[in-house]
Structure 1
């Protein structure tokens, strides 16, 4: 089935292979190669990491490798049956081969054209030009029905759900049976940006692959990507802001978000001190509205850490010492929920909701000043 029947993704070139320099994805791919060689390859794979690690890129490369006709033809050899005289395919040691997709066979060409009949990508659909808030139960039912059918190219069937963060209880339940009994030569990959959203029933039916990137190797990777354009300290800060996610860190650097990010934190402190209004803050940062919600989430997370750590600097202790940590975490959760709904709601709705959270932060600062007098 063509990719567009389950997905709203624009038809763009399908990346069959992971770039050689993207070490963390290649490390994960090799881990799966090892599992395949040991006959421990999963039928349900949960790929987990914060945004910016390239989970979807890895999932597509895995799917392309399984669907590649060159790899599939290595799975068996022709041999004469001694009893019937018929020529049959029999399993050989090469059956345990799991290589990078060739890029030239019929299957690879179909993937690159987004028309492979045995590859499925399920994600939020477009409705009137906007993404729906969730992957629907109907999408999961349709996917389950497709995966029990015979492969059209007599090979693997591969499905990617991008992402599990966009599913609800109904869509979870609709895919459970298929995850439990997926059928032979079927792989279902679920993209996750945090295990907190993943129900236990899903975890128990999948092998979890947590993506990690060594800090020093990521630093070198970013330096190579940016050459002399930025110093090591700025790169390290980008990694901190983006929780070590290489692709997110690279975008942060390339887009020149460093100074804007620092100014936002300063303005949020000014908001708490009642030196700036919520509306003024939003006006000053309106050009970066797409990134603003995630950055504010980082701010509240760091404030919470400063409150809980005894080793916090004197400056931070004085600034946040009277701020209730429970309130900060509540605001953080509100921002996280808003971040998730960002692509499905209108800009006006999101701005109003964000302003309400910032007003709460402003009012909290006013109360702290009042009670400290």
Structure 2
């Protein structure tokens, strides 16, 4: 597995605490999607469970390593979205899952080492499940490690955040991100990094998925709607059928560029008739709509309202 260079500082700090026997009982790994939080977590957990680790990294050959790779290690619990009685996947982590986890962690480790519970995404816990987790955080069992992963840690209650050791992943320096993208074989890494807002992980994934073409299509759609040449419902259907959240990211990005170019050059490529303040409002509305797509509201109505206000 390729190790991201912006992980190194966090990795060294954790390994130093491990060598001193001073690891925290709960970690919160947070930061934007695409920076490799989950890769970092997997590397750390494998090393923690390994019978013959080398400088914190797992050997990959011992019993613990083989069981973990197979997803059957008895001392690892993964909590994520469950399934309702009707077979539909839940959109949140519920209190019964956390109660079951607490009961499991109250028992001794089967291998006599660490017991590790991973909650991902932790910011999907509802209020009841977050409250249920507090007792486990306040009264941890010996040799128990709770690892919470969150793209949006502000959604977690302060009571949870204050009881975990926070490891926050930030966007790396532009030069470091470009060098990493080049090492990953990304074509036109500069354009990919710009599209992803400086996030190298997203830039790599989006480049492989053809997202740069999607970004250009979004800008053409916005320019057409601003000029009265496009059909709003047709654009809504296309966006909803193909990565709507990503398209809204690109739409907000395009409008931010429009506002910036208007301030410096007097006009932008989208030729929007919205005044400067309205452009800022639309940018915020696009981000709110992207967030709302994860909820129960109809995506077509959300997009229709947003694009109608743009036109």
Shorter chain as normaliser: what TM range? Answer: 0.7 to 0.9
- Aligned residue number for residue 242 of structure 1: 196
Rate the CA distance shift 1:224–1:98 in 2: closer, same or farther, 3 A: closer
- Aligned residue number for residue 139 of structure 2: 181
Measured after TM superposition, the shift of residue 298 of structure 1 is 4.1
- Aligned residue number for residue 181 of structure 2: 222
TM-score by length of 1: 0.73
Which one of 152, 155, 178 corresponds to residue 194 of structure 1? 152
Measured after TM superposition, the shift of residue 111 of structure 1 is 0.8
Taking the aligned partners of 1:107 and 1:292, their CA distance within structure 2 comes to 41
Matched, 1:134 2:89: no
Whether the aligned pair in 1 keeps the contact of 2:137 and 2:163 (CA below 8 Å) is yes
Whether the aligned pair in 2 keeps the contact of 1:273 and 1:362 (CA below 8 Å) is no
Measured after TM superposition, the shift of residue 195 of structure 1 is 2.8
Give runs of ≥4 in structure 1 deviating > 4 Å.
Answer: 127-130, 283-287, 304-313
Rate the CA distance shift 1:263–1:220 in 2: closer, same or farther, 3 A: same
Rate the CA distance shift 1:20–1:30 in 2: closer, same or farther, 3 A: farther
Whether the aligned pair in 1 keeps the contact of 2:115 and 2:144 (CA below 8 Å) is yes
Q: Root-mean-square deviation (CA), in Å? A: 2.8
Measured after TM superposition, the shift of residue 54 of structure 1 is 2.0
Matches within 5 A, 1:304-315: 307=259, 311=263, 313-315=265-267
- Aligned residue number for residue 13 of structure 2: 31
**Post-superposition CA distance 1:103-139 (Å, at most 9, x none):** 1111111111211111011100245664311111111
Whether the aligned pair in 1 keeps the contact of 2:214 and 2:247 (CA below 8 Å) is no
Determine which structure has more spread, i.e. the larger CA radius of gyration: 1
Rate the CA distance shift 1:321–1:200 in 2: closer, same or farther, 3 A: same
Taking the aligned partners of 2:95 and 2:120, their CA distance within structure 1 comes to 14
Matched, 1:99 2:35: no
- Aligned residue number for residue 120 of structure 2: 162
**Paired residues, what number?**
306
Which one of 325, 335, 341 corresponds to residue 290 of structure 2? 335
Whether the aligned pair in 1 keeps the contact of 2:255 and 2:279 (CA below 8 Å) is no
TM-score by length of 2: 0.86
